[in-house]
Amino acid sequence: MKDTKYIFVTGGVTSSLGKGIISASLAKLLQGRGFSVTIQKLDPYINVDPGTLNPYEHGECYVTEDGAETDLDLGHYERFSNVPTSQANNVTTGRIYQHVINEERAGTYLGSTVQVIPHITDEIKRRIKLLGQSGNFDFVITEIGGTVGDIESFPFIEAIRQMRWEMGKHCAVVHLTLVPFLSAAGELKTKPTQHSVKTMLEQGVQPDIIVCRTEKHLNDSIKGKIAQFCNVEVSSVIESIDAASIYDVPILMLEEKLDIEVLRKTQTPIPEKIDIRKWEDFLHRLHNPQSEVTIALVGKYVELKDAYKSINEAFIHAGVSNDCKVKLKYVHSEHIDSGNVHEQMAGVGGVLVAPGFGGRGIEGKITAIEWARTNKVPFFGVCLGMQCAVIEFGRNVLGLRDAHSTEMNPRTPHPVIDIMSNQKTVKNLGGTMRLGAYPCKLDPESKVYGVYKETMISERHRHRYEFNNDYRKAYNKAGMRTVGIYPNENLVEIVELENHPWFVGVQFHPEYKSTVARPHPLFVGFVEAVKNYLSEKD
């Protein structure tokens, strides 16, 4: 059993400062010193999970192995730490209240008035300690979503206050703030940081370490000022300067000794050596690409890059594996039609059609796929992207007029994509899709087998519709091969085209499993195919 220490990461001044990246970077450094670490996100909103949130609101919904629909920061945690997260790693206010109210109805608190303190704060503390009690981790890093001072985050800050009181040096609080540069004054300003620390103090929490997000280096006098006004040691004022890539942040934090400060504050003996050579190799290759390719990312949420976060990052990892920089050209599927597709796809060496829900922009996706198929341009379809590839092939190769998914057209004469039988009775939309990891058996004669180099794989899912097996024979005969199957229920998970350099559609989400340490083989294979396509074209 490990003597688990708890690190809290809070944010002040403004949102979007990158608490997730700081948490993930700290985890990476602690791992480099030989500690086992997990990272948890507590989100102050009332949704039970972000699965029902529009990507415009909250960016991508990330899915864990055990099928939890979570905040996209969990993706960063996995990509940096290479350790899978689970349901326990993302807890919202909604989930906390749901549990407490269920307990109240069950009579657990019989006789007492159920209140924010202690019932809600006890449940928050229980969720935090649950990860520590697994006995697997030296450190549990808990990131609190939102900004201190928000009404929603009060119970979480109060839970931290109580845990520190109860556990003393087994806890440390890292507070991330912004130190803005005012160009008119030509100066960095510490006042917002002072105010956000004051807000925390009003709630009874003194940060141990202050990480300052800044565009310009903090000199000693600025660090001294922050230390003096915020009751921390100068060595506990850590600069977090804007970086070219999020993957540079662990190294910047190493230089600023964030990990050492955390170990010192929690009275943990400091191992002398740190091993992050593999991370440094990755960075070297990331910053020294030998070539560049452009890939079209076709989707309907292209205005907000966070909507496709994991796909973005998977391309960064796959680019590094191929020593090339992958530039993504975001193409709005609603703006594609047969008249302009050639122009829209100008200069791209591959097309990825993104996951999604609902009919908006669907015809543009299908047109982009037809273009990639007929021009023999590498294509990769993910979830809805795979379903669109099946629809396109049905309509244009098999001659199935108006073939469609019953999600978009329930009355189609050719429902080549149909609702899964166990989804037909589902009424509630929250957390009821086919979610999480399922095994998939690959055809050893397929291209994807050549990529994975194993017959049984496991990938994560998030969907309700599936390839309609009534059409399976016709598709295989005409050259769209069903090469990956979920054996227990005979569900088609992967299709690929014969006579095409690379045309792969997957019902699952490979992007969720791509990490710096293990770039996803399908993304690596796709980028390689794009490179080959472009070099043969020249």
Coil, helix or strand at residue 43: strand
Active site residue 230: no
Coil, helix or strand at residue 141: strand
Only one residue has tokens 């390719």, namely 293
- Segment interacting with ligand GLN (CB under 6 A) among 127-135, 153-161, 333-341, 463-471: 463-471
Task: Determine if 311 is a binding residue for ligand GLN (CB under 6 A).
Answer: no
Residue among 119, 317, 404, 509 flagged as catalytic: 509
| Cα separation values, 525 from 316, 350, 382, Å | 13, 12, 14
Q: How many residues bind ligand GLN (CB under 6 A)?
A: 10
- Residues in a beta bridge with 296: 329, 351
Q: For the window 404-423, what string marks contact with ligand GLN as x by the rule CB under 6 A?
A: ---x----------------
Nearer to ligand GLN, 277 or 411 (CB): 411
DSSP code for 498: S
Active site residue 175: no
| Cα separation values, 345 from 62, 314, 325, 340, Å | 28, 21, 18, 9
DSSP code for 116: I
- Segment interacting with ligand GLN (CB under 6 A) among 167-175, 332-340, 350-358, 492-500: 350-358
Q: What are phi and psi of 176, to 5 degrees?
A: -100, 125
Task: Determine if 493 is a binding residue for ligand GLN (CB under 6 A).
Answer: no
Active site residue 511: yes
Residue among 383, 493, 500, 520 flagged as catalytic: 383
| Cα–Cα dist 219/294, whole Å | 40
Nearer to ligand GLN, 209 or 388 (CB): 388
**Strand ordering across the sheet containing 171-178:** 90-92, 37-43, 139-144, 5-11, 171-178, 209-214, 237-241
- Select from 396, 464, 472, 474 the one that contacts ligand GLN (CB under 6 A): 464
Nearer to ligand GLN, 63 or 232 (CB): 63
Query: Minimum distance from CB of 380 to ligand GLN (Å)?
Result: 13
Query: Minimum distance from CB of 404 to ligand GLN (Å)?
Result: 12
Phi-psi region of 358 (alpha: psi -120 to 50; beta: other; left: phi over 0): left
- Which residues, in sequence order, are CB contacts of 22 under 8 Å at separation 6+? 9, 174, 176, 211, 240, 249, 253, 258
Q: For the window 64-93, what string marks contact with ligand GLN as x by the rule CB under 6 A?
A: ------------------------------
8 Å CB contact between 372 and 353 = no
Q: What are phi and psi of 166, to 5 degrees?
A: -75, -35
Task: Determine if 459 is a binding residue for ligand GLN (CB under 6 A).
Answer: no
DSSP code for 180: -
- Select from 156, 301, 438, 465 the one that contacts ligand GLN (CB under 6 A): 465
Query: Minimum distance from CB of 488 to ligand GLN (Å)?
Result: 18
Nearer to ligand GLN, 73 or 407 (CB): 407
Q: For the window 357-396, what string marks contact with ligand GLN as x by the rule CB under 6 A?
A: x-------------------------xx------------
Nearer to ligand GLN, 140 or 504 (CB): 504
- Which residues, in sequence order, are CB contacts of 201 under 8 Å at separation 6+? none
Query: Minimum distance from CB of 109 to ligand GLN (Å)?
Result: 39
Nearer to ligand GLN, 319 or 356 (CB): 356
Nearer to ligand GLN, 383 or 524 (CB): 383
Which positions are catalytic?
Answer: 383, 509, 511
Contacts with ligand GLN by CB under 6 A lie at: 355-357, 383-384, 407, 462-465
